[in-house]
Structure 1
Amino acid sequence: MRHPYRRAGAVIVAGSVVWLAGISPVPRVYTTHDPAERLRLLLRGERGWVTGHHVAAAGTAAVPIGFAALARAMPDAKAKHWVEASAAALLAGAPLFVYSLSRRASDLERFAYRRGSNVPFLGYSWLHIAGLAALGTGLLRSPAERWVGLTASSAAVLFAGILLKAKDIPPFVFYVTEATVGGYLMVWDPEPPAGDPAVG
């Protein structure tokens, strides 16, 4: 079967794009440091903010499904188990971020002034980093080009360092990394076409 991972890659890319589209409906809200100004921006764009968070929640749920589909399609047992672990970590973290999204959308003032516990978001972030690390390991054990596995593995190390130091991380970095992997999966063909000189 040509391009056996195209469908999984398409789900990952689509989920990442949906997440990125939904998470940033109010310009400057993430770069504004003054809480009062941040609240003013949120109130002005409240409808888009709430709608966008529903969209982002859909993307959050879709990406693990794509990696689960990738795991099912992989023939190599060792690679499959690592990608299954990746999908499980992302799936476990998704409800934590959806919960964080619901709090952001339901209480603009709390988000603007950074009130409340950050534990759900931190749990989601660490699970996402674990998922990227497992994904990278699985891809490195597969016939995929090494750069794609190294991208996921290196990103996991980098993001872990950022999260340890800052106790925060912009989650879009997770989805940009995963969209890159998904894009590769859409075009990856582990079987050369018939008549290719590489075929023995």
Structure 2
Amino acid sequence: NVIAAAANGGFLSLILFALIFAFALTRIDATGRTALLTFFSAIRDAMLVMIGWIIWIAPIGVFALALTVAAKTGTAAVGALFHYIVTVSSVGIVVSLFAVPVAIWGGRMALGRFIRASLPVLAVALSTQSSLASLPAMLRSSEEMDVPVATSGVVLPLAVAMMRATGPAMNLAVAIY
């Protein structure tokens, strides 16, 4: 049940359904396929606009939460929060630094070219903390790195949904903290 999987966060079921649905689209007439692709493209574009709005307004909400905490606890919370951010971020940076040599070796690419293509993605990732918000930048950067669209269009959404290497390490750091 696709609706139940979406409601319960069953990403594997959703991905499997999307793959089967995409293969089924190749078997229908061009008119129907074009209509569905246009429909889903419009949904994608609308969702990206909504994500842009959320990213734009999120700092206001974070500021309001921080102001509330500061008003209740004073400056003591600032030091604890700073220590927490440094600890968790350091773990994420270390895991990410281990991934760079793997990406360069696996992609057979020069370090400078990889870093230049990755900078927009890193800027979005650091500013939003959202893998999904980083996806459009990842897709653009993969084009700059000459990754075929057929490959990046499948691998990157799967990676965003399921293969976040820093997630377990940073969650462990949060638990230890």
Length-normalised TM-score, structure 1: 0.31
More helix, by proportion: 2
> Of the two structures, which has the highest relative contact order with CA contacts closer than 8 Å and spacing of 6 or more?
1
Length-normalised TM-score, structure 2: 0.34
